[in-house]
Structure formats: C-alpha cells, structure tokens
Structure 1
Amino acid sequence: MAIDAAIAMNRFGLGARAGTAAPERPARWLLDQLGRHDPRPPAIAALPPRSELIGAIRDLRQDRQQRRSMEEDKPADDAAAAADRDLNNYRTAVRGQYVAAVDARLGVALSSDTDFAERLVHFWANHFAISIDKIVTVGLAGNFEFEAIRPHILGSFADLLKSAIRHPAMLLYLDQAQSIGPNSLLARRIGARSDREIGLNENLAREILELHTLGDRTAFTQEDVTEFAKAMTGLTVAGLGRPQLQRALGTDKSPGDAVFADALHEPGNRMIAGRSYGGGGALALDRILDDLAMHPATARHIATKLARHFVADDPPAPLVARLEAVFLKTGGNLPALYKALVEAPESWRTPVAKFKSPWEWTVSALRALSVTDFPGRAQAAVGLFTQMGQPVWRPGSPKGFGDISADWAGPAALMRRVETAGRFARLAANRVDARQLAPAILPGTLGPLTAEQIARAESPEQGLALLLVSPEFLRR
C-alpha cells in the first residue's frame, strides 16, 4: 500500500526525497537499513576527537587561571573586565566546534539513505540529553552524540547507557566530574589541610534513575538517589588539568577518558532500588548499571518512549506491553526492540498522528526539496534551529526536547514554519514542481484539498511553500 511507504519514509525515516522510489516492502526496507548503518560517516569522522576537545578546554582553563593570578592585585573592576574577556574568548573558541558539529549532523541527515538509523540516533541522543546551556559542554555536545550514541544504537541498552553516562560531556554537564565522596581518601587529605568543603553531587545519579532508566518515581526513593550518587563517586574525566585529581588518576589516561579514581570514591556498601551491592568501586558501579538497565521499570519506560516517539503521543497500551516484553526477554537488545516496533500493526495505522518537531520538519523539508547545501549552511543552520525553537543540543533541561504535539504546535511556532517554508521554497522553486513533488513524497496520504491548493498556487514558489506547511507534511 502506498500509505505504508509514506509512513516508512516519514514516520520512521527523516522524510522522503524527490526522485527516490517509494519502498515496495516498507517494513523490510526499514530493517535492512540497520545493517547498513555507518557509525562514522566521513562528515563526522573528520571532526576532532574528544581528546582534542578536552585538551582545548584544559588549555583555556589554564590560561584563564594564569591571567587571574596575574591580575589579583588590580582593581576589582579591571579584574571583572578581564574575566569577562576570558569568558568571551572561551565561548568564541568552543562555538566553532559546536557549529562544525551541527553542520555535520545536518549534512548526514540530509544525505543519508539509512534515515531510520539516523532517527534512532536522534531519539537516543534526546533520551540521554545534554545541553550547551552549560558552557563546558558547548564544544563536546556533537562529540557526545557522535561517539557515545551513534556506535551503540544497535547493541544492548546497557552498553548504550554506560557509553552515554561515561562520556565527558555527560559527566561535566551533570557535575559528576566534581563529585567526591565526603569520606574518600582525597577528601580526607584536602580536609586535613584546609577548610574547603568536599561534597557529593547527586545530579547524574538522579537523572539516570528518573530519566534514563527507571522513569517511574515510585520505583526509587531519594535515599536511592543518594546511595547511587555515592556509588558513582570516583567516576570522572581525565585530562582537565586539576593537579590533585590528575595525581589521583595517574598519568596514563588520555584526555577525555572516563576514569574511576578510587581516591575519590565513597567507601562502603550500597542499597539501590531494593538490591544490595558490596565492595564498592568500579565493579560495583558496573553491576548497578547493568541491573538498572534490565529493571522492569526501565523496560516499561523505554517501551513507552519508543512507542510515543514513533506511533502516537498517547501510545497504544498493547504496543507498549509487547515492546516491554521484548526488552526483558532479550536482555535489552535494541535491534530486537526496533524489529518488534516496525512489525507491530499499531505502527502502520492511520491517520498519521505525530507532529514533527522543528528539527524533523526542517530536515524533511530540505530532503523533499533535494537541498543538501545552501549559502552559509553551517552558521545558518545554527541560527535557523534556534529561531525555530529547537536549538541543536540545547534542550531546556536534562529531560530533553518534548515529543508530543503540544510541545511544537503552538500558533507562534506554526508562523515560524510558514516563514521558513517561504525561504526554502525560494531555494528550489526554479527546479521543483510542487504538483509533482507532493504525491511523490506523500504517497497515499496527500489529501484532495491540499492537492487542489497546490494546483491553484499563484507561483511555483507559493506551491512549494503550501506543500511544506500542509497538514499532511507537518505530521509524520
């Protein structure tokens, strides 16, 4: 059926492209893409590795500290002005890394023929959300998606979880890198020499329990959060140049490596989500993460989010139950979960229910128009997604961007799409006929009213703009 092809290309993919034949076997077409997923396409492989990015952060921090020490005797106003200059220099340096990463992400999305896999990358990057609102993560945000998420979307959920939370961007964003056990060896040494308070940070522990794994707050307590935070002390980032920390870590670590420093770890046994973990240290943390990854509440949480993202804002209960069962039966095997999702009858029902986010709409619009490049694409893309209300890797909280219609379908947001549709139409109006494009990218879902409005458009440009803001195109 033509409508199944449209669902495959738009609901599961990133949008149909003109001149590309609709798949004859949509479900098989989607699953075959997983076998061709490239975790390091050329645009991404060309970007700096995390060691270089962390090295840049370390060097900028050291320069800033040196200038501060040199200006200690200057008036307060001069010192404040110098601090502002340092911060601006830092922002300028890391912004270039961010812009390049956004451009690579967009370029891969526009050109990919494995766009189901690309959508899964974006889904998981939003599940394990970080934000460039914290300046230390600006240069690392793209690397987080490219190194922590992309290579692990076809493995187990446990491996994906561990990869995400051990990336320096996550450890820095949620302050895990500075969490030190109050009774750890290093805390006792520092406390013996000064009055400086050494404290536990619960941010990452809380978000892992609440957002990344269990989800259901009835499945854990505040005491679980605190105990988990204690179990995680020692997990930090190598190469940031703190002398005492580096001595504790040793000198054989590459910048950006996640490392477990026993000298920072809070000793003792832990009880988390009803299970006891003795001995402490890195091995105990690994067991905790494995158990959280396979907890029944985690299975339900992940099944619900997948069904909500791909099928409906209010996901069908039978679909959620089947996905949950597959998750538990296979040990959190992600390809098995995707297969169950694609083969579920609920995934192919109409009417099309999901409203596209700004990222989804923009990518699908450019793919439909066969636009892979445009003037100043890198800088323009950053500004465009900010203007559209979904700046790349900048959700308002660790919860990530919203995934239901109410998050994106407000009047002001729709007006921004109308304005942007006009700009996109001008890029392609001299080579694309909306009357021919519409049925090709929306097979079986193009309504007669939209087709009539496009046919009556006063110009090719207006016809394309009408297509891009039609109800059929706004949904997937």
Structure 2
Amino acid sequence: MDSQPVIAAIRFGLGRRPGDPVPSDPAAWLDSQLLPDLPAPALPEGLPLTMADILAAQVADRQSLRANEGRPNLARIRQGEAAALLADSIGTPYGYRERLVGFWANHFTVSIGKVPYVVGHLVRAAIRPHVAGRFADMLAAVTRHPAMLAYLDNATSTGPDSRMGRRLSRGLNENLAREILELHTVSPAAGYSQADVTSFAKVLTGWSFGPRGDAGGFIFREGAHEPGAKTVMGRSFPEGLEGGMQALAWLGRHPATYRHLATKLVRHFVADDPPPAAVARIQAVLQDTGGDLGAASRALVRLPEAWSPPLTKLRTPNDYVIAVLRAVEAPPDAGERAQGALRYLGQPLWAPPAPNGWPDVGTDWAAPEGMLRRIEWANGISARGSGRDAADLAEAVLGPLCRRETLQAAARAGSAREALTLVLTSPEFHRR
C-alpha cells in the first residue's frame, strides 16, 4: 500500500479500518467527503430531536427535580447524542468530514457541564450543516443557538438603558461578546479594546432563547436590548436584531478572522508550529472566497506540508480512542462504552474545561500518566480482539508508516494480545 492513502485517512480522517478501500486519488477522495447531504449520525429512536422538544424535556426535568425524581431526560438526551456521534465515528467512511465537525465544535466550545441538554443539537444544527459552507453563516448559527447563549451567559444580558434594564436594574454580561472577539473571530491580534468588548456586548443584548423562539429556539427580547447605535472596532452598527447580525457578518469576514482561522486549521491538520507559508495560503483562500470553508478544506489537503513529513501530530485522547476502535473494527455499540474511555484518558466528550476548548498541541497531551493510561486501555481492547494478527492489522491500518521495530517487537511478543497491544500503542499509532 502506498503511503498517501494512509496519510489521507490518518491525518485528515479518523484512522483506517482494515476493510476500508484504498483510494487511488487520496485528495479527490477527501474532497468527496465535503459534498452536501452526506448522512449524519443516526440518533436513538425516541430521542428529542428539535429544539422545542429538547427545551420541553428540560422543563419536565426541572419539575422532576423539584419532586426529587431525578433528571431522566437529561441523561437520555446527553448519552444518546454522544453515543450516536461516537458510534458513527467508529464506522463512518467520511472521516474527513467528521474531523472537520469536531474541529469546529472545539472552535465554538460549549460544555455539557453547563448546558447538558443542547450541545448535541448545537453540533447537529449549527455546525454540521456549515462545515463546507461560509464561516460567517456558521458564526451566526452558533451565536444564535441556545447552547452558546446559555454557556456564555448572554440569555439574560440586559442593556443598562433598555426598558428592562431601567425597570429591573439588570446588568450587561460581556462573556459572549468577549469570546466571539477573542476566540471565535478576529483574536487579540486585531487590537480591539475593552471598550469594543463592552460595545459589542450591548449589540448582543436581547439575544436569548426559549420555548417560544424560532425553530432553533432563538428569541430577540427587544425590551432587554440596549437602544442606539454602537461602535465596535471603528465600525458603527444600528440598534436592534439587525445590528447584531451585521456585526457578526462583518466579524465573520474580517481579514483578522481569516488569519486566525487559517492558523488554527493548519495547526490542527499540519503541525503544532504552523508553517507560515501554509497559513498564508489558507488565509488567502478564505479571503478570496469570502470565508468558504469548503474551499479552505480542499486547499488544506493540497498543502505539500500536510503530506510530508507524515505523523507530525500527536493524537488527542479522542483521536486515539476512535482510531483504535476503527482499527479493531469495533461494532457501533462500542460508541456508548467509548464515553467512559474518553473520561479515563482525560478528554470527556463535549466537556472541555474552558471556552478556549481542548488544546491542539502535542505537549499538552504527552504527560507520562496520560500515555500510561492509553497503554492500559489499549491492552484491554486487545484482550477483546486478540484473535487478530497484529502484523496484518498494522499493514491494513498503518501500511508503510508502521516501523520495522514495531513489527519485530510484535513478532517476538508472548501472546497475540501482547502483539496487538504493541501495535496499538506504538509511537506511529499515537500520531497522525
């Protein structure tokens, strides 16, 4: 097997399964995964799907909690959404698209620790449909989503001079405005000030959600909105909902945003220290196409730096767990058990510790304890798949990227289980 198809599946996808076909044109194969209307993960039957259903389930759980009956809907929604995503990741032929979904979900971080009901819906409704579309459209969809409005406390943010602010003495919350500027769009490199953060927070006052909202749950509460025009980074925006939409459209197409996004994309797909020439190329594609993420994703797979040298990125725990389960051809129901593995390895699904998301640099994941836990977990997986020939599996999932030393160590192993563990915990399997 040539190295290019393996690199395509490992670096851009979620890892090879032994039975996966070998594409003759790896770049074209990756491009095909950006087509619209590819199937999404199938959710368990009976799970609330719409935002109205989810918000209604949340109300029911609050009533159950007051009656000391627990939170049955919370567990069902959270576990069902997570298990469906992981099960799909284990078996999907569209690894590049799923990696992009995960990348943008981490870029727009929310956590089940604070918004347990709605993270899965955010990924389904606001991120997945836009991974090959315009960044500004994704930004608007995510910012209006109840998950983000609740996670960053904008749902109750009230303009000091609004009708509600004067009557109830409620205050302004700057969390969402600050994180949009710092993390989601232009980054501090754009040179915005604290006054810009405050002004942008006023632009977003009244942005809330509820059961009577639109199809996504969004509500604009005019009575909580700060009146008058506002200026953000030298740009004036009118009052009302339209002012907020204009601000997001402008930030979503800002040159500093494109530079920030290009740097993060190249860091994720190429190297911890992003090569400047690669960043410049992706930034130019975004600039020339008005933020077309599909165009940027196609350009990524054509960066020479993305193919050589291979295996420059350490797999995060999430990457590693999915790659191992794909390599041993785990069944879909392993998605539910994978949630426990991710917690054990330090990267629980949809539960990053802060709004800047999970780190994307190897040094943050290379601590000895974390690597030892990977070995312990992989050894348990090997026990369930010990009938597999380790050398055959290495050839099928790593091809020429598997080192001779790994094959020699596996051949000398005392058991099939030990041989398989040696392959699954080899330095090359830990990298992508």
Post-superposition offset of 1:346 = 1.0
What is residue 202 of structure 1 aligned with on the other side?
174
Are residues 1:444 and 2:400 paired? yes
- Show the 5 A alignment for 1:371-382: 371-373=330-332, 378=336, 380-382=337-339
Alignment of 1:29-428 (within 5 A): 29-35=29-35, 38=38, 40-43=40-43, 47-49=47-49, 50-61=51-62, 85=68, 89-90=70-71, 93-134=73-114, 137-188=115-166, 190-191=167-168, 197-239=169-211, 253=213, 257-277=217-237, 279-373=238-332, 378=336, 380-428=337-385
Asked if 1 retains the 8 angstrom alpha-carbon contact of 2:132 and 2:295, the reply is: no
| 2: CA distance, partners of 1:44 / 1:322 | 41
Report the CA distance shift for 1:330/1:164 in structure 2 as closer, same or farther (over 3 A).
same
Q: CA deviation at 1:47?
A: 3.6
Counterpart CA distance in 2 for 1:299 and 1:288 is: 16
Root-mean-square deviation (CA, aligned residues, Å) is 1.9
Higher helix share: 1
Kept in 2, the 8 Å contact 1:341–1:347? The answer is yes
- Residue 455 (1) aligns with residue 421 (2): no
Q: Is the 8 A contact 2:31 2:298 kept in 1?
A: yes
Corresponding residue for 1:465? 421
Which residue identity is paired with 2:7? I
Instruction: Give the residue type in structure 2 aligned to 1:273.
Output: M
Measure the CA separation in 1 of the matches of 2:3 and 2:307. Answer: 9
- Identity %, equivalent residues: 42
In 2, the alpha carbon distance for the partners of 1:172 and 1:474 equals: 36
1:19 shift after superposition: 1.8
Shift of the 46–448 alpha-carbon distance from structure 1 to 2, 3 Å rule, reads: farther
Shift of 1:374: 5.2
Contact 1:44 1:146 in 2 (8 A): no
Amino acid at match of 1:35: L
Taking structure 1 as the reference length, the TM-score comes to 0.87
Distance 1:26 1:142, change over 3 A: same
2:147 partner SS? helix
3-state DSSP class of the match of 1:472? coil
Q: State the distance in 2 between where 1:320 and 1:45 align.
A: 43
Deviations 1:47-86 (A, max 9, x none): 422211111223344566xx5xxxxxxxxxxxxxx8xx57
For structure 1, the 5+ residue unaligned runs are 68-81, 192-196, 240-250
Contact 2:47/2:76 (8 A) holds in 1: no
Can you list the C-alpha shifts for 1:363-416, whole angstroms capped at 9, x where unaligned?
0100011102457x52x3322211110000000101000001011111001011
**1:402 aligns to what SS in structure 2?**
coil
Report the 3-state secondary structure (helix = DSSP H, G, I; strand = E; otherwise coil) of the residue aligned with 2:219. Answer: strand
Amino acid at match of 2:355: P
Name the amino acid aligned to 1:296: P
Gaps of 5+ in 2: none
Letter in 2 for 1:453: A
Q: Name the CA distance, whole Å, in 1 between partners of 2:63 and 2:164.
A: 22
For 2:402, the aligned partner's letter is L
1:10: Cα distance to partner? 0.3
CA contact 1:44–1:105 (8 Å) conserved in 2: no
TM-score by structure 2 length?
A: 0.95
Range with greater deviation from structure 2 (366-375 or 439-448): 366-375
Whole-Å separation in 2 of the counterparts to 1:46 and 1:415? 39
Deviation at 1:187, TM superposition (A): 2.4
- CA offsets 1:404-432 (integer angstroms, 9 cap, x no match): 101111100101100111111112112x2
**SS of equivalent to 1:259:** strand
Matched to 1:426, the amino acid is: A
- The one of 429, 436, 453 equivalent to 2:386 is 429
CA distance in 1, matches of 2:133, 2:328: 34
Kept in 1: contact 2:7–2:310 (CA 8 A): no
Cα gap change, 1:470/1:327 in structure 2, threshold over 3 Å: closer, same or farther? same
For residues 58 and 215 of structure 2, the distance between their equivalents in structure 1, rounded to whole angstroms, comes to: 10
**Offset, 1:46:** 6.4
Shift of 1:345: 0.9
Could you tell me which amino acid in structure 2 is paired with residue 133 of structure 1?
Answer: G
Give the Cα separation in 2 of the matches to 1:256 and 1:56. Answer: 15
SS in 2 for 1:322: helix
Task: Report if aligned partners of 2:230, 2:236 keep a CA contact under 8 Å in 1.
Answer: yes
Is the CA contact 2:199–2:232 (under 8 Å) kept in the aligned structure 1?
A: yes
The answer to whether the Cα contact below 8 Å between 2:189 and 2:256 also exists between their aligned partners in 1 is no
Does the residue aligned with 1:236 lie in a helix, a strand or coil?
A: strand
CA contact (8 A) 1:326 1:340 kept: yes
Asked whether the 8 Å contact 2:321–2:341 carries over to 1, the reply is no
Q: Secondary structure at the match of 1:20?
A: coil
The 2-side partners of 1:132 and 1:398 are apart by: 12
* 2:180 counterpart letter in structure 1: I
Deviations 1:287-331 (A, max 9, x none): 110110111110000000000000000011000001111111100
The C-alpha deviation readout for 1:111-163, integer Å capped at 9, x for no partner, is 111110010000000000001221xx112111111111111111100001111
C-alpha distance after superposition, 1:166-207 (max 9, x if no partner): 11111111111111111112223x33xxxxx30111111111
Q: Which residue is 1:73 aligned to? A: none
Measured at CA, do residues 45 and 216 of structure 1 come closer, stay the same or move farther in structure 2, by a change above 3 Å?
farther
